[in-house]
Each structure stands twice: as structure tokens, then as C-alpha cells.
Structure 1
């Protein structure tokens, strides 16, 4: 069932991705011109143009992400934790496998914040949880945990402090598999590190999995001061919109399926 959910989630997102909408719009324009269906071609061209202009001028993604990123405070006060849990997603598995060294992506703050807290709390364990969240990586021998092991070794983290969970493919599995691996006690305190926009879904999943005493530590913020000005920023705005829509879709899917 978990594998089916994983595959379906990737296929559904592929269909709802705004980039897919853009390709479909352009395909309808070409089809309409080719078959002489001018009304279809004009309609598809107008809708596609409006979509591009709207995304380019209005920071829709940032507007959608702001409520998620402000759900939990930045750098909250907390007692010394038992351990630091970092969710996978900050590693670039394909580049790491190719270059045979740890390569990070635009969520690298998950790793850097973990190391900062590990130095601040030298007695805390570090738990990395993440395999691969890409459909094309099914069966891949390199996982997020492989990259994490190399990264933390480079940073000088004592390997005895590090626990790796490398089989999970999504947030729900991060929570359940790490819980089964660690078997945390109710009296223990844990810090959970992930991207700020992703923290609400992560906290819900970890609570449902049985984790208690968790302090959320959001990093990797994608929104900033929202300014409405006539500038052309399609390439900058589209990835943020993708992130926002994917996260809201994930929240909805997890709520419906009890994850």
C-alpha cells in the first residue's frame, strides 16, 4: 500500500504540475493550428499567455508559502535535546552518485543547520531519515542516507553519534521508519529539522507516528518580503509556485489518508 501511495502521488503531481499545464496549453495551440480549430488555438494561447504573465508578475508561490513558513517560530528556545532529526531532501542524489562526493541542493540548510545544532549540543544524537523521493530512483543503490553519511563525515561529526535511516521515500515513512529504528522514550526531547514550508506536514506525520517531545526547527525559507512590482520573473517565480502547490497537495493527501 505504501508503494502504491508513493507511485500515485508522483503521477498525480506530474499531472498537476504547473509546468505540465504550460506544455498542455502550448500543445493545444499547435493542435488547433494544425487541424484548423482556430477557436481552440486562440483560447489555449490566451489562457497560456495569461498564466505566464500572472506567474511572472505576481509572486503567487510566496503568497501561498507564507502561511506554512510562519506556522512555527524560527530558532525557538529549547532544553538540550536527546537528538536531532533531519529529514532528507537537502541532498542531490544523482550528482552525488556521479561525482562520488556529497552534493547538496537548494534545501542544503537542512544539513548545515543540523551541523550547527550538533556542535551546539555535543551530547545529542543525530538521526538522518531519507532514502529517495524520486520515482526514477526506485531500486537505486545510492540513497539520501548514503549522501548524509559522507557529508557528516566531511564535517567531522563523530560517526558514533549518527544514526541513518535510508529506506523511507516520503514524510510519512520518515516518521514511521525512524520511530521504529529509534524507539524514542516519552521523556526524551527531540529537534526536528526540515524546510519551513514542509514543517507542518512533517510535524503532523511525526505526531501520528508516535513521536513526542519534538521541537520544530524550520529552515530553508522560500518566501521573503512580498513586493508587487511590474517585473518579469517567470523563471524565478515558477519553481516557488511548484513548491507551494506540491506542499498543499501533500497536506491534503496526507489528511485524507491519515498520514
Structure 2
């Protein structure tokens, strides 16, 4: 089931789905030219629209929290949980696997929170495609790069739902029920609900907000990063929909 979800999401989420639709329309253009042209314009037009930051902002509007973690929330938490965001595999400059960009943002912020709160850290994330787990690379980065401390390593989970399930088991054994959950701002709406489903009280620790210059020229130009973040937002909304269907 897990790998089926991976395959379906890879093909259903833009830009791949829109490119596939455009290719199909191109193949049909001789047989049904009018319909094929409309489909082609729709798919390529939507791909272009998703490349503008105002569209990205609209898709991210309800995903990202409207505030950062407060001191009051920090004081109530018992532990910090960092969600794995992927591994930089065979990093040539380091000679081994290490955290990727998204995971690095999470690790850096979590260690900053640990210095403020002195709370223990749990890292969670397995290995989907083989190699070192996200949790192991996070542990190495926290201890060697940032001089932080990791209390628990959960390295069996393959997605956010399993992050929540397996992490909750470790935390509840330790008597911990209130956590700061650290991830990208756009990931936390869905992740928070999954951890709350495991009967944990969750204070979100968002990092890596989607931001950009606000000049009219910048906003009027398409950007590959805007397309990437728009597609990430659509992936999150699809995940939220699936969770509502199967978890409620």
C-alpha cells in the first residue's frame, strides 16, 4: 500500500501529470484536433500558472501557520520531534550520506529550540529507497554539525503517518505527551493532525516558510522554484484529503 501511494502520487501530482496529459493530447491531435488542442492548452497553461508566486502563495495560504512557536508553547512542551525530510545521498563533498536541504532546515531550527528549552530531541524517519535512514543522518548532523543532543532515534517509519505512529510509541513509554513538532511550515497542517491522532498534544515549530521578494517585476515572472513549491502544496492538499478519507 505504501509503495502504491508513492507511485500514484508521483504520477498524479503536477508537473508530471500535466506533462503526461499534454503528451496524450499531442498524440490525439490528428484524430480529434479541436479537443486535443483544448487539452494541450489547458495542461500547459496550468503548468505555467503554477510557476508564478502569487499562485504559490494562494496554495500555501492555509497550509502555513500564521505564527511561529511562542515562548508559552515552548514552556508547555516535554520534547522536540523532528520529521525527516529526505537524505542527500552520497554527498561527494562529505564522502557519505547527509541531511538534504529540507532536513537541514529542520535540524538547525530544532537545535536552536533545544538550546532555548533544554528539551530532549526525537528524530524520526526511515529509509524508503535503501541506504542510511533520515533519522540516522539527522542524528549525525545534530551531534557533529550543531553540537546538539538526540535522545531517541526512530528509523523505521517511511511516511508522516508512520512517523507519528512509531514516535508516539517511544514518547509514551517515556511518559511524554506534549511535543514541539518541527518541520517545514507547509508540512505541519497535515503532520500535526497525524500526531494528534496518536493522542499527543502538538505545538508546531514551523521553519522554512515560503517567502520571496514582493516587487511587481518579480511577481510577474515565472520561477522554477515557484513551480516546485506549488507542486509541493498540491501534494500536501492531496495528502490531507487522503488522510480525511482513511483516518476519519
TM class by smaller structure: 0.7 to 0.9
**Partner residue, 2:41:** 46
Whether 2:108 is the aligned partner of 1:112: answer yes
Residues 68 and 238 from structure 1, CA distance in 2 versus in 1: closer, same or farther, beyond 3 angstroms? same
In structure 2, stretches of 5+ residues that fail to align are none
**1:74 Cα deviation (Å)?**
0.5
Residues 58 and 129 from structure 1, CA distance in 2 versus in 1: closer, same or farther, beyond 3 angstroms? closer
CA distance in 1, matches of 2:47, 2:16: 13
CA distance in 2, matches of 1:145, 1:187: 19
CA distance in 1, matches of 2:173, 2:23: 52
Greater RCO (CA < 8 Å, at least 6 residues apart): 1
**1:64 Cα deviation (Å)?**
1.4
Which segment is superposed worse, 239-248 or 219-228? 219-228
Whether 2:89 is the aligned partner of 1:85: answer no
Q: Is the 2:106–2:207 Cα contact (8 Å) retained in structure 1?
A: yes
Whether 2:182 is the aligned partner of 1:193: answer yes
Q: For 1:209, which of 194, 198, 201 is the aligned residue?
A: 198
**Partner residue, 1:245:** 234
Q: Is the 2:102–2:184 Cα contact (8 Å) retained in structure 1?
A: no
Q: SS at the partner of 1:94?
A: strand
Q: SS at the partner of 1:69?
A: coil
Whether 2:11 is the aligned partner of 1:20: answer no
**1:17 Cα deviation (Å)?**
1.5
Aligned pair count reads 243
In structure 1, stretches of 5+ residues that fail to align are none
**1:210 Cα deviation (Å)?**
1.9
* Cα-Cα RMSD: 2.8
What is the TM-score when the length of structure 1 is the normalising length? Answer: 0.81
CA distance in 1, matches of 2:109, 2:207: 7
Whether 2:217 is the aligned partner of 1:220: answer no
What is the TM-score when the length of structure 2 is the normalising length? Answer: 0.84
Whether 2:147 is the aligned partner of 1:156: answer yes
The superposition leaves residues 62-103 of structure 1 with CA deviations (integer Å, 9 ceiling, x where unpaired) of 2111112135x21212316421111111x4242459831523
Which segment is superposed worse, 23-32 or 219-228? 219-228
**Partner residue, 2:124:** 129
Q: For 1:141, which of 127, 131, 134 is the aligned residue?
A: 131
Greater fraction strand: 2
